[in-house]
Structure 1
């Protein structure tokens, strides 16, 4: 009988009020805890407890659209049977074969939570937006001078606002924008397979206005594509596929899917610039949003890359880990070291907690000098619960499969929240992340934990499939190792003992010259200013990805990122560490580290009755020497082809010495069968630099003119 009762308790525990908790984001559970969970209350304690005035700390504060008891539909990312899930959500967008986004009301979510076609529901998380000598320090400007200006590689760009109609994004009355999806406007038709917003083509983009109140998107795009006489974009030959998005992960993921689909249709390599972050969720790189990124940018896929910032939270106390030294739950607040204390100056804050179900919690609130204590709450018995008091509200939701909880604390006046833990797992800590609004505070008691300025990397920078950038000050001396004033303190990073070591690379992120937009969203005429943040760092790293793809479009995502790491200017320790990543971005060294390999060299053989020509298909390589070892003849070479005017009948064996423009060499051997008789008149044939035959009657003073696409081009020839 006891086993039956335990089983019934377990079933009730995981299916409260007809909802399968294992399939629901703990954030949703915490915000709807009044509908789903048990209610608890605080009791006033007679313990004397005081907090001294606290130094002001930076607080991660922004609005969240999800409200308690909200009856509005929820923006979500769902995993499961996409075709069946589409029947239950509005404005659905299929991201991958197993992930779809859309809007769903809470009652419908409860209805399908126990179905076999839903694997997990994730609430859309709030997203936030996180140049000059910088191009020189990264060697990007040197690459531009060598011709790596983005031609043939598309830019994917997504942000909350940018100004496509301003003059710097036009040349000869042609827009730099190939396509724009404005998710916020409904004046025209939405893009195919996306049920909202409007799609704008290149012609309409010339005079298409998008509000950019913060100026973030316009500023970043100007570094890439500006045609201003004062400030030229680094890869201005690239075309842009852009999305004006809402700042949440659902719409952001829709925008990423749009860019990937359109760039694949254009059949050109592309780099996605995504200067946006969020700090909310499992903090493990395993959210549905991050899973979708992995599927859209698999490490083995070719012709693509994605650059993201590490985040601007490096100077905030947003993380704490707490070990439990309790032997029994009955000990008071001051006799153990498993106490965490938080405070906040705003009306609410959100907290992510990584734990398992062996955890019990007790809460205490300090309000107007009075201390209020709760009873111990066991997560096995109460995965969802709440406290509703006159001055504050606390909602809590726990998901066993994800080992993750979410807490929301709302209050009308200055209140301090404390959390005490008890767990049977004494070796591993319980980890706390402030997702929004608060800061950790350590009162003057030895057993209380403080927050730490570490493990503050933002999502999706933790994913292996993206290249993530931290920031350094662009006025650094390139010959010095890292000093205290070299790295930008706001740059996020993970702790040294964490499984995910990021960021990958450091790029300039302070004193960045870029286009400036006024506070009213109206751009100043040819006005530029200096900016800061890891968003700008990710732009420079993304430019490096574009230049590497321009050099070799057949690089895989993994190869592309490895080149970035190999080429970095090594700093500090000389190997990867949690502070400096792999070093400072140096795209020239990255390109140089890619040696010429035989499997990358593609040849084309052309034979006539009087000669053999060997062509290189890739213009980034050139032939410096060619020997027919069958005849022992050194044959005539041009940049991209070699011509043997006296091949031997039968097999001819050639050795070609191949050189890329960075000085990397490789020798390859080519066998050519030749069966034609050599014509005695072959010596009179002349070829231009592209390898095509030229009639002598067309040659005047060593210059050959030809018509290409209606324009007259001059080509020097060798004869």
Structure 2
């Protein structure tokens, strides 16, 4: 690929399209004059001039081909270390020989938490997507800069490491997650990660392009990352693990709420296939969207014709996104009423239709899709620009009959919303974000060890196809973690719980893979073992919409592993 084509990958003048059917003649013709980069045998990215992005782009290019915008899933950071939950079990195991991979905000590679006792690094490699280089990008990925362990060690020997390797983590989220999972022991600060001898592979995501931020109405200054960069990051982790012939845990602490909530996006299917490889475990954070009032669920009563969902919009709201999801086999119509009571639009169950309505200074765009996976459920993506203040009403009516007429609405991640945008009668369930709502991934929700209660904001509830999610609950409130600049903090959120679980899983893979006791272990196996061994309340029914199969139980995991190996 020449330099001009490589520039298109990162240029704000080019939009990105995700393709998993790029061998079809129809697709080849549609993008015949465009740059297409084949990431692997199944997935390619097309780069097209951004002026081809119009108000109907979601329908023009496809529900699953438009990259989603993903946000961070840490809920809170305190600059005091409060709690240090030491896992019981796996004594004598430290994760040595296992890789932990993170696709996130980067890492402070200079922090003592990521160095060995001899002051060398515990990071096997870093791919920083945000740093341009002519020749030092990963093979076949063509953007960013890759740094090897040897280069990182040279930087650490320098009086000014950043002048050698300018990788930073300005937000701290990636540093927190990596440190919780496998930070080195620091006796002076009373800190140690779960798998303190595992090695790290780090992908620092570049920020989402401006056209995507505008398309999805993401507020300025809020971190967000685009789906195809995350896919490329996971592909990179896979390549590194394969080249080193090492088991790897891939941990994702970012998510998206404008998804199918069943895990059938191109990215989710790719992650599931990666996690099925022997020696690979793919762990995702459930999200922090419960009690945010950004989900609505209704089943229209048999005797009723319609059901009304009410959404409150506050003053001077610049805009937001919302998704409707109608459960198959029924089809639904939606009448939209403004806070003034005026009728705005009717949206019928028509595939590939984009309806646009302007009223005063506001604009509403609604993209309808019927031919998407998951039993051809009905999706409508709403985009509200400068919406009128007050209570909006969405009057939903579906085809009559004796089958349930169930539907959902979701707003964007709370990170992307103004605080005064919420449903009047919200529902806390089916709030697990993508990709964590995928059946094939290990999904972790967060609980507070001190109170033995689920974290107030932890996403919960089975996915829209009623597949049990989350899988387990893990410590995720006030866990100590390294922070950029050499300090330590306490962090909370489902991404924290996922990182803790990733550390436990490194111990599991060390037991099973590195010591040749169970070299077949992968995501489905590990998920099953965690479900079997979880701690459960005898007064609850499992799988549980709040707790999954129970609380992650390291000692119980080891007991189950030993029992299975004895069979």
Q: Which of the two has higher C-alpha Rg?
A: 1
Partner SS for 2:95: coil
In proportion to residue count, which structure has more strand?
1
- 1:378/1:574 Cα in 2 relative to 1: closer, same or farther (>3 Å)? closer
- 1:364/1:132 Cα in 2 relative to 1: closer, same or farther (>3 Å)? closer
Match of 1:429 among 400, 406, 411: 406
Superposed counterparts of 1:673-712, under 5 Å: none
Partner SS for 2:338: strand
1:500 aligns with 2:467: yes
Shift of 1:375: 5.4
Shift of 1:109: 8.6
2:22 alignment counterpart? 81
Superposed counterparts of 1:404-423, under 5 Å: 404-411=379-386, 414-423=389-398
- 1:103/1:175 Cα in 2 relative to 1: closer, same or farther (>3 Å)? same
Partner SS for 1:459: coil
Rounded to whole Å, the distance in 1 between the matches of 2:446 and 2:427 is 20
Structure 2: tracts of 5 or more residues without a match? 1-11, 74-80, 207-224, 373-377, 514-518
Partner SS for 1:408: strand
Matched-pair contact (CA < 8 Å) for 1:134–1:508: no
Matched-pair contact (CA < 8 Å) for 1:135–1:540: no
Deviations 1:40-67 (A, max 9, x none): xxxxxxxxxxxxxxxxxxxxxxxxxxxx
2:179 alignment counterpart? 222
Rounded to whole Å, the distance in 1 between the matches of 2:113 and 2:281 is 25
Superposed counterparts of 1:446-595, under 5 Å: 450-476=425-451, 486-495=453-462, 499-517=466-484, 523=485, 525=486, 527-553=487-513, 554=519, 555-571=521-537, 572-573=539-540, 575-595=542-562
1:674 alignment counterpart? none
1:287 alignment counterpart? 265
In proportion to residue count, which structure has more helix?
2
Deviations 1:502-546 (A, max 9, x none): 1111111112111234xxxxx1x4x32221111110011111211
Deviations 1:152-189 (A, max 9, x none): 11111111132112333223242111111000001452
Rounded to whole Å, the distance in 1 between the matches of 2:345 and 2:563 is 68
- 1:549/1:88 Cα in 2 relative to 1: closer, same or farther (>3 Å)? farther
Superposed counterparts of 1:176-191, under 5 Å: 176-187=122-133, 189-191=136-138
Partner SS for 1:259: helix
Number of residue pairs the alignment of both structures matches? 484
1:669 alignment counterpart? none
Report the TM-score when normalising by structure 1: 0.62
Higher relative contact order (CA 8 A, sep 6+): 2
1:240 aligns with 2:200: yes
Shift of 1:364: 1.1
Rounded to whole Å, the distance in 2 between the matches of 1:74 and 1:387 is 25
Rounded to whole Å, the distance in 1 between the matches of 2:21 and 2:479 is 44
Rounded to whole Å, the distance in 1 between the matches of 2:283 and 2:34 is 31
Rounded to whole Å, the distance in 2 between the matches of 1:151 and 1:193 is 30
Name the stretch that deviates more: 371-380 or 382-391.
Answer: 371-380
1:277 alignment counterpart? 255
Matched-pair contact (CA < 8 Å) for 2:344–2:357: no
Rounded to whole Å, the distance in 2 between the matches of 1:386 and 1:513 is 48
Report the TM-score when normalising by structure 2: 0.78
1:192 aligns with 2:139: yes
- 1:180/1:390 Cα in 2 relative to 1: closer, same or farther (>3 Å)? same
Rounded to whole Å, the distance in 1 between the matches of 2:380 and 2:463 is 24
Matched-pair contact (CA < 8 Å) for 1:169–1:227: no
Deviations 1:681-717 (A, max 9, x none): xxxxxxxxxxxxxxxxxxxxxxxxxxxxxxxxxxxxx
Deviations 1:272-317 (A, max 9, x none): 122111111212211111111122222xx21110111111111112
Shift of 1:270: 0.9
Matched-pair contact (CA < 8 Å) for 1:170–1:227: no
1:389 aligns with 2:355: no
Rounded to whole Å, the distance in 1 between the matches of 2:292 and 2:240 is 38
Deviations 1:436-486 (A, max 9, x none): 5374443xxxxxxx221221001111122221111111224xxxxx6xxx1
Shift of 1:80: 0.4
Structure 1: tracts of 5 or more residues without a match? 1-70, 328-334, 443-449, 477-481, 518-522, 601-664, 667-719
Shift of 1:549: 0.9
- 1:570/1:73 Cα in 2 relative to 1: closer, same or farther (>3 Å)? same
Shift of 1:197: 0.4
Superposed counterparts of 1:646-685, under 5 Å: none
Shift of 1:108: 6.8
CA RMSD of aligned residues (A): 2.9
